[in-house]
Amino acid sequence: MKVRSRQGCTVRGLLLGNSVVVLDVESARRVYASGFYGKPLGISKPRNSSFTSPLVLGLLEALYLVEKGIICVEDSNGKMMEINELKEHARGYVPRFDDLYLVYRHARDMGYVPRSALKFGADFALYKRGPGYEHAPFLIQVTREDEEIDPLEIVRSGRLSHSVRKSFILAVLSGQNRIRYLLFEWSKP
């Protein structure tokens, strides 16, 4: 489903604030089915790609799909956005965008499906197969190696992830593109 050129873009998304919407339902279905990208409008937990509504993508997802040549994004004036323009726009809406996107892209490139884990107090819930097929086995919190972390926050995150049957991972960023993953397992002394 790769797009050959921006002029020949077959899947178009419309930038609306902190989201990109794929209005064409057939295109929306193909994008969703290619890796559980986005959420169909009005459907919180789709079972498959047989929905009949537009697809709403977050800015992390949209940028990834643009970089992979799967979609192109138009602004509200109908102008195709370049990758750097979309990144700059996203930085205005998503705190720590660059750090989050680095981990998001790495997870996707490794075949995982990262989704927001705000309800769990983490940055990402990470699926091996995809939502609807399994519960996310991992929660990821992104941090930089030069940031201080309160040990109590690690304990809280570990306890929460354990209570929802997920492993807690700290993604530690260093340098420009290096990620180290620290997996925490709950144990009783």
Q: pLDDT tens digit string along 145-161?
A: 999 888 778 777 777 77
Model confidence band, residue 121 (pLDDT cutoffs 50, 70, 90): confident
Q: Do domains 12-93 and 97-184 have the same CATH topology?
A: no
Please name the residues in contact with 100: beta carbons below 8 A apart, sequence gap of 6 or more: 60, 94, 123, 142
pLDDT of res. 4: 38
| Order of all β-strands in the sheet with 72-74 | 39-40, 55-58, 19-22, 12-16, 72-74
Q: Of 91 and 131, which is predicted with more confidence?
A: 91
Q: Which of 64, 127, 128, 188 is catalytic?
A: 127
- The average pLDDT across 176-186 equals 86
Active-site annotation holds for 135: yes
- Across the chain, mean pLDDT equals 89
CATH of 97-184, one of 3.40.50.12780, 3.30.2090.10, 3.20.20.70, 3.40.1350.10: 3.40.1350.10
Q: Which of 45, 135, 162, 181 is catalytic?
A: 135
Active-site annotation holds for 162: no
Active-site annotation holds for 166: yes
Say yes or no: domain 12-93 is CATH 3.40.1170.20.
yes
Q: The dihedral of CA 6, 82, 67, 71: what is its sign?
A: negative
Q: Is the overall model pTM greater than 0.75, yes or no?
A: yes
Q: Which residue has the tokens 């799967």?
A: 70
Confirm if 68 and 57 have CB atoms less than 8 A apart. no
Please name the residues in contact with 153: beta carbons below 8 A apart, sequence gap of 6 or more: none
Domain boundaries, the chain: 12-93, 97-184
Q: Which of 39, 89, 112, 166 is catalytic?
A: 166
Instruction: Report d(CA 93, CA 59) in Å as an integer.
Output: 9
- The average pLDDT across 60-86 equals 96
- Residue 36, CB-side half-sphere exposure with 13 Å CA sphere: 21
